[in-house]
Chains A and B, each alone.
Chain A
């Protein structure tokens, strides 16, 4: 029996194995059957069927399930196949349906087709396929890290249609856009849709933007060369402005915002940059001409356009500067010619008028071009700078030997002397203009000195129209140039205000001390030394009447302060003298010195030149001038023997009792000596001191400094007051070396050392 069992057991085993194998084989067969069925099924899924909108739900389910079964197969054999099948489906569709369709159409229709094809493809076909193959996507694709199903669709589209899109589709788009540029109306919505397609395909920058920008380049290159030759500068600019507006509009409407900058810069480049030289240099309408003709609207447009371009305004700025400089220089030259004419004729009045006129012209010029910068050049700082540079060029040119600082002071003098009945401009505005011009003049200290001299004359001879205006000018100058600039002048004005107090006290004093009263009306103006320009004092014998006045005041002043000492400047005083002439008694307004000459004739009817000189004890030239003013000038109060036009030392003078005039009160002019040279000398010597002080200050701080640096620092420190001559700086350095304030470095001769 045991044998049987063993045998049986073996048999059983064999039988079991056989069964198993059979089972396996069966299973395998079944599986294979399934596979084949599936394959058949897959190959049977026709696209046409897919593209049908109305696909019934059952078919969908079956498809999905079939695919599911294959995908879940333990063999995993079919997954790769299915994946590639998936791709195949896409490609087939694109190749069989889409491409042919596109190839049939052109232009706008092409775009429409393109857009709809894509829409259909991505929304319908692709989504459907995706739906069915979803299980595959979730597991197989993710596991194998393949391109996910979504992207496969896009990829297929891109691969097959890339060239098509790049060339034909984009050509159509560009064509359409150019049509709009030429003025036609196009279907912007279509363009927008095409843009969307590219965006979805993530090819916007690569294909669309690139080709659009290239298209813009081409278009505007052609247009630019055409327009530049056909149009004048203003016309061209108008066109450019319009184009830019239109382009911006279009891009904002249809395309992505990033494209705007690229397109606009292309347009700017082609229209504005490439042809800028040609544009500016146009003979009858170019930049120079626009400035000359004052075509401000066009200039403003030019500014607007070129401010968009990098460094675009350089040229405009330069042209502006040259224009302003040319205008200024023309004024200078013109005035020089006129002035020389008057110098030849020795016509002082006309000469001064020309000089004043020039300053007024400068002021007007400044106003005009300042408004240009503010109104048309949008207050750009570059333009302010060149305006300043231009003015600095011609505002520093001398006219017939008279420096601009002096010219300005003459103008100032006249303005402040005038009665404020000027209708067109208030004095204060004129003063503002003067200060504005002063900024451009480099010799500001020269102006200060001249102004101080003239101010003194105005204050002392009461020629100034209004105290307020004087103070206003000084305030403005202080603001612009600093306190030290106006400190002396302010002192002068203050002195005069203080004088009123002094005069009041003096009157009181005389009232209280009647015996001191000289019997004449006396006003004394006390000037503080240092504020006022220096006047030379000379020996002088006062007539007894005046002597009494002087004594009285002296006594009075002692009571006020014992410490200060007063020196009398008779050359600056005025006197009203009563002249008892036979026709009528007249009041003569003369200077103190003239009065003393006349008073001599109270005690003698006829005097010789030497008599007068001896009695007055004045220098000869002063005597000559005095006598000339009284006997050879406008009013002949003294008769001169011989009756020549000049004074000589052998002349005799007699009181002219027959002298008369229409008016009852006349002013006998006494021409003041021309002290221009003295003013200039003062300024030059002050400058020397200022330079020396600056050098010492700098070297004290730096201890060791090279030659160039010292020169430039020195010039900079002094720049607010004047422009120092480098030779003078060198001279002062040497002077300091020889006085052992500085020394040259023994190793490097161009380095200076401060010696404490």
Chain B
């Protein structure tokens, strides 16, 4: 490993240890992340943190391991706070590309699963996540869908299949006319019910 190769790594380490006060387990904790966010200048609920997590392929929500951290920052080609700030903007554009967005979207779901064996997210968290991840892109659909989810009782959780189908729904179905939606196709039942609810409450 040449001199050039080591330097960024070292800088990354320094950065890491600078931000992380509770450095026991080599795991970037929620508090550490918060301070990191402060340093970078974004809100810790900002979607860009999620995007960063995606870049890192982080497994556990709220925690970054050293490897993940390394992975993420080297993918961003950033080793100072300034560079990170800059790169984050570009990161946004990168994620928006259709090929990446689906991946990011699915990742967002899996990342939000609180426990190991869990497969579903509860409605509340799902609504929040939707706002963060899709709110800027499909604001109308997201707000209506959240309204529906909050008003109904049939579903208490959302599973991955329903989650992915919702993105497809936003991409393919005309909103708010819903004229090209066909309930006889393989849309999940929750979307059938959503469309019915929309049509009734129009």
Contact = CB atoms under 8 A, between A and B. Distances in A.
Nearest to A742: B161
A714 to B, nearest CB: 13
A738 B161 CA distance: 7
A737 B165 CA distance: 13
A738 B120 contact: yes
Given A727-B192, A730-B192, A749-B168, A744 B161 contact: yes
Q: Which of A707, A749, A752 has the most CB of B within 10 A?
A: A749
B186 A727 contact: no
A749 B165 contact: yes
Contacts of B159: 734, 737-738
Interface in A677-734: 707-708, 726-727, 730-731, 734
Contacts of B188: 730, 734
Interface in B162-178: 162, 165, 168
A521 to B, nearest CB: 55
Interface residues of B, number: 14
A497 interface: no
B185 A750 contact: yes
B83 interface: no
A730 B189 contact: yes
A737 B159 CA distance: 10
Q: Which of B165, B188, B189, B192 has the most CB of A within 10 A?
A: B189
A373 B160 CA distance: 56
Contacts of A730: 188-189, 192
A731 B160 CA distance: 15
A750 B186 contact: yes
Contacts of B165: 749
A738 B155 CA distance: 14
B184 interface: yes
Interface string A596-621: 00000000000000000000000000
B10 interface: no
A653 B188 CA distance: 60
A734 B184 contact: no
Contacts of A727: 189, 192
A707 B186 contact: yes
B119 A738 contact: yes
Given A734-B161, A738-B120, A749 B186 contact: yes
B185 A734 contact: no
Given A708-B184, A744-B161, A749-B168, A734 B189 contact: yes
B185 A707 contact: yes
A744 B159 CA distance: 13
Interface in A43-85: none
A731 B189 contact: yes
Contacts of B168: 749
Contacts of A749: 165, 168, 186
A731 B185 CA distance: 13
Contacts of A744: 161, 186
B135 to A, nearest CB: 24
Contacts of B192: 727, 730
A708 B187 CA distance: 11
Contacts of B184: 708, 726
Nearest to B188: A734
A278 to B, nearest CB: 41
A750 to B, nearest CB: 4
Interface in B116-174: 119-120, 159-162, 165, 168
A751 B192 CA distance: 18
B154 to A, nearest CB: 10
Nearest to A745: B186
Interface in B181-196: 184-186, 188-189, 192
A674 B87 CA distance: 70
A750 B165 CA distance: 11
Contacts of B162: 734
A410 to B, nearest CB: 33
Contacts of B185: 707, 750
A572 B122 CA distance: 45
A540 B168 CA distance: 58
B8 to A, nearest CB: 36
A251 B113 CA distance: 89
Nearest to A750: B186
Contacts of B119: 738
B117 to A, nearest CB: 12
Nearest to A708: B184
Contacts of A731: 189
Nearest to A748: B186
Q: Which of B119, B161, B162, B185 has the most CB of A within 10 A?
A: B161
A738 B163 CA distance: 12
Contacts of A750: 185-186
A631 B40 CA distance: 82
A749 B161 CA distance: 10
A737 B192 CA distance: 17
Contacts of A752: 186
A244 B182 CA distance: 55
A752 to B, nearest CB: 8
A698 B62 CA distance: 43
Interface string B11-51: 00000000000000000000000000000000000000000
Interface in B80-129: 119-120
A734 B161 CA distance: 8
A753 to B, nearest CB: 12
A729 to B, nearest CB: 10
A710 to B, nearest CB: 9
Contact of B161 (A707, A708, A737): A737
Contacts of B189: 727, 730-731, 734
Interface string A139-183: 000000000000000000000000000000000000000000000
B199 to A, nearest CB: 16
A732 to B, nearest CB: 10
Contacts of A738: 119-120, 159-161
Contacts of A707: 185-186
Q: Which of A708, A727, A738 has the most CB of B within 10 A?
A: A738
B22 to A, nearest CB: 37
B147 to A, nearest CB: 22
A737 B188 CA distance: 11
A730 B187 CA distance: 9
Nearest to A710: B186
Nearest to B193: A727
Interface in A270-288: none
Contacts of B186: 707, 744, 749-752
B87 to A, nearest CB: 30
A738 B117 CA distance: 13
Interface in A298-352: none
Nearest to B185: A750
A749 to B, nearest CB: 6
B42 to A, nearest CB: 33
A727 B187 CA distance: 11
A731 B193 CA distance: 12
Contacts of B120: 738
A751 B186 CA distance: 8
Nearest to B120: A738
A737 to B, nearest CB: 5
Contacts of A737: 159, 161
Nearest to B157: A738
Interface string A736-747: 011000001000
17 contacts: A707-B186, A727-B189, A730-B188, A730-B192, A734-B159, A734-B161, A734-B188, A734-B189, A737-B159, A738-B159, A738-B160, A744-B161, A749-B165, A749-B168, A749-B186, A750-B186, A752-B186
Interface of A: 707-708, 726-727, 730-731, 734, 737-738, 744, 749-752
Given A726-B184, A737-B159, A749-B168, 7 more contacts: A707-B186, A730-B188, A734-B161, A734-B188, A734-B189, A737-B161, A738-B159
The 7 closest A-B pairs by CB, nearest first: A707-B186, A750-B186, A738-B159, A730-B189, A737-B161, A731-B189, A734-B188
